[in-house]
Amino acid sequence: MPLLRFDPSGSINSDFGVTEEQVSGLSGILAELRTEIVEIDPKQYQSGQIPANKQPLDARFFWLPEEQLAAYEADRGASELGRIFQVANGIHNELDAVAVLGIGGSYMGARAMMEACCDPYHNELTRGDRGSKPRMYFEGNNVDNDASNALLHRLKAGGYGSTEAEKRFAIVVISKSGGTMETAVAFRQFLASLEASLGEQAAEKLGRFVIPVTGSSGKLHELASAIGCEQVFNVPEGVGGRFSILSPVGLMPAAMLGLDCMKLLEGAVAMNEHFKNAAYEENVVLQYVAVNHLLAKHRNKSIRVMSVWSKALEAVGLWHDQLLAESNGKDGLGVTPLTTVNTRDLHSRHQQHQQGRNDKVFNNLIVENYRTDPLPVGRSSRNQDSLNDLADRTLPEIMGAAIKGTNDALHQDGRPTTDILLPGIDTYVLGQLFQMLMIATVVEGRLLGVNPYGQPGVEQYKQNMNKNLGRG
């Protein structure tokens, strides 16, 4: 199956971008960093002999896809992946909705997969059109009073039919410690609502309809035991939240939606193999890092725009925003990530991006093949809109013209671009993309001299919030 491609040609320009010589000049240090990630990090992690400047070393995300596939191959239903499939396949006939409670990396990956792979109006489809897969909603990622109330009322109202299943919902609660305020508060509220909705069946079904993904110990783990949860899934040790999309954190919601989790992991493995073995000039991870890093260093491109050319991939861009910002925004370093969706944002932000402050690089995320048949403009007897000359042109053709036109306009004003080309949108390609961007983030962090793992700034806000609530 095809691998995604990276085309940096829109940034290879001595006037406003970087040169081939500059990119080649990074080959040595990037080769060393590749060796560090592929060989040294695993040995240090597994031995526990981790240098102080690498603490924490949440590097397990790199070999986690292979690890999970091997465990499933060896143990099937007894493996964690097998248990995920059992829960997802065993529960969907009993309910019509799932509330996924988590914040940051505990929900953004799952949301990205849902928006990329499911029908854009999945939650509005009938149960039959969804193949009995549940509607899925995301909360516990804020403390927004009105949003929480609205979802509680939506879930209480049930689905769009009258069967028993369409009146029920489940909770997937994701928190490594269980101590994150936003998720913990939401879980208390949604748990109370679920228990009330089950009525006399609560004693029998509550532990089945609450699915925690958490650490091996901590508040949520203890609460899961008190509830009597039938299945508890682990946030793997050595995997930070923003790197956890290919763990049960992302796999549990994906499996409940009926997405192909095996292909997702296989795509990540394919990217790992490419990263480890492809020559520097052909290595999409290393070339992506080299071009973007050089633009930041030599052209002061402090804002890195993920320019998404498909509505389905907006949440992928937002997931990447967190990944890059939280990993490398330390010690006064790191670029600022920004996601735009085109052609929508060409009519809002683009004027400033093209002719305002010249501090951005535009990484286009482009889908080459759509899931549905190309939709033609169509011919009409009412041609006041003057579109009949485009009657036989399709929306993908118009999108292609917009992409080229935008890149050309940016280049004319001295703005660099690159293209990440996706063969299509499915879990196999997404697995590649997620793994590529996670590896690239770690490589660039090491290149900058910062530890891409850990998030001390986030921990500081949590401490201050608890202090303001009088919790010491």
pLDDT tens-place string over residues 278-304 = 999 999 999 999 999 999 999 999 999
122 pLDDT above the threshold of 70: yes
pLDDT in the model for residue 19: 98
Going by C-alpha positions, the residue among 448, 152, 437 that lies closest to residue 313 is 437
pLDDT in the model for residue 162: 83
How many other CB atoms are found less than 10 A from the CB of residue 13? 13
Burial code of 322-339, b = ≥16 C-beta within 10 A, e = fewer? bbbbbbbbbeeebbebbb
Question: Residue 209, CB half-sphere, CA atoms under 13 Å: how many?
Answer: 29
pLDDT in the model for residue 286: 98
Name the pLDDT band for 99 (thresholds 50, 70, 90): very high
37: CB partners within 8 A, 6+ apart: 59, 62, 439, 442, 443, 446
pLDDT in the model for residue 468: 82
161 pLDDT above the threshold of 70: yes
pLDDT in the model for residue 466: 77
Catalytic residue of the set 326, 330, 353, 444: 326
347 catalytic? Reply is yes
Residue entry with tokens 């990396």: 105
Amino acid at 216: S
Name the pLDDT band for 381 (thresholds 50, 70, 90): very high
pLDDT in the model for residue 461: 73
What values do phi and psi take at 448, rounded to 5? -75, -20
pLDDT in the model for residue 163: 87
Q: At what angle do helices 80-91 and 248-256 cross, to 10 degrees?
A: 30
Query: What mean pLDDT is predicted for residues 339-346?
Result: 98
73 catalytic? Reply is no
**DSSP 3-state of 16:** coil
Share of the chain above pLDDT 70, in %: 100
Cis bond before residue 126 (omega within 30° of 0): no
457 pLDDT above the threshold of 80: no
Query: What mean pLDDT is predicted for residues 242-253?
Result: 98
Burial code of 136-169, b = ≥16 C-beta within 10 A, e = fewer? bbbbbbeeeeeebeebbebbeebbeeeeebbbbb
309: CB partners within 8 A, 6+ apart: 342, 343, 364, 365, 366, 367, 399, 402, 403
pLDDT in the model for residue 47: 96
DSSP labels, 184-237 = HHHHHHHHHHHHHHHGGGHHHHHHHHEEEEE-SSSHHHHHHHHHT-S--EE--T
Distance CA 259, CA 288 (A): 28
**DSSP 3-state of 60:** helix
Q: At what angle do helices 181-198 and 456-468 cross, to 10 degrees?
A: 70
458 pLDDT above the threshold of 80: no
Question: pLDDT, tens digit, for every residue of 167-198?
Answer: 999 999 999 988 899 999 999 999 999 999 99
The domains of the chain, with CATH numbers, are: 5-48+267-451 (3.40.50.10490), 61-259 (3.40.50.10490)
318 pLDDT above the threshold of 70: yes
The token pair at 434 is 């997620």
Distance CA 4, CA 341 (A): 20
298 catalytic? Reply is no
pLDDT in the model for residue 472: 66
User: Average model confidence (pLDDT) for the chain?
Assistant: 96
pLDDT in the model for residue 95: 95
Share of the chain above pLDDT 90, in %: 93
Query: What mean pLDDT is predicted for residues 421-442?
Result: 98
8 pLDDT above the threshold of 70: yes
Using DSSP bridges, classify how beta strands 5-7 and 417-422 pair: parallel, antiparallel or unpaired: antiparallel
Query: What mean pLDDT is predicted for residues 28-49?
Result: 97
